[in-house]
Structure 1
Amino acid sequence: MDGNSFHKLYSELLGRYRHTDAVIVDTRHNGGGWLHDDVVTLLGGKEYEQFVSRGQYIGSDPFNKWLKPSCMLICEDNYSNACGTPWVYKELGIGKLVGAPVPGTMTAVWWESQIDPSLVFGIPQVGCRDMRGNYSENSQVEPDIAVYNTPEEQLKGIDRQLEKAVQLMLETIKKK
């Protein structure tokens, strides 16, 4: 979850994929970053006006946010902000989480370099607390739809978590 990956998500989602009916955001196997607010702001857009020319719909606002259904793939080795991002996504009710539970590892870390620049270590400094007073550290993020991929399936290229997310989005857009 770094700036380059967010810029790619933003430009592709609001560029060539703008006219798709839904999106699946895959956060699995992610070491974190500090983009939870950027991601949920992008995915949590609410349409508040439409542009119409001579009776023809041509667009809507907000133009810089995703306004359609989404879900987020998560797994057991998401770490740090890859735990925080799904938590915020679920907390704000943007969409469903699909996959395996994420260990509660959302704590801000201060990184220190040593005299030998190859040695770097992190010191957990800042806890993240929800509006009810609960810290996210050691608070597992549970998926709305639990699906586990086995190593055997992964070796065969089978991704049941992704398959379930696709099924969920197809069912969601069919209801609209």
Structure 2
Amino acid sequence: MEPKQQKSNLCLPIGRNSKRGFGIAEVLVSAAVLGFMVVALNKLQTSNHDTFLRIRGRDGAVELAQNVLDSLNSVGAASIASKADGDTTYPLDSITRRWERGLGGYATIRYARQITVAKTDDFEAASHSNYEDASHIYAKQVNVRVSWSFKGSNQSINVSGVIR
């Protein structure tokens, strides 16, 4: 007599309650998990887009402030009106910049600029003799403030420099 060969039942369903394929519960759970993942990825993309626009707005403000400082450097300290006893503030015209959004459309940001020239006591060279007193302002400290609004909150930067 030959021994009977037994088949391995490791991968085959056993019993009456075994089933093939996925049941409705598994399909619904899979759909819910997939839906949550899609919502999370969409939220992440929107958050990244807002961060990108915030950084672009800040970079635009720094560029505008640096342009003002460069312009003041080109005219020199003697051309900038200031007071010896206090700060002098000059508002400048606002500038609007427009950037293309990654998701379509444009982002428009209006920048308000203001120059503050610090009092000149720290940058004054004075000499005294028996015949006359002479003083000369050789530099001026300038602070450029650029402010703008992003999503309802006010943003601002300050860039300072010494103009000779």
Same fold (TM over 0.5): no
TM-score by length of 2: 0.26
Q: TM-score, normalised by structure 1?
A: 0.25
The structure that is strand-richer by fraction is 2
Higher helix share: 2
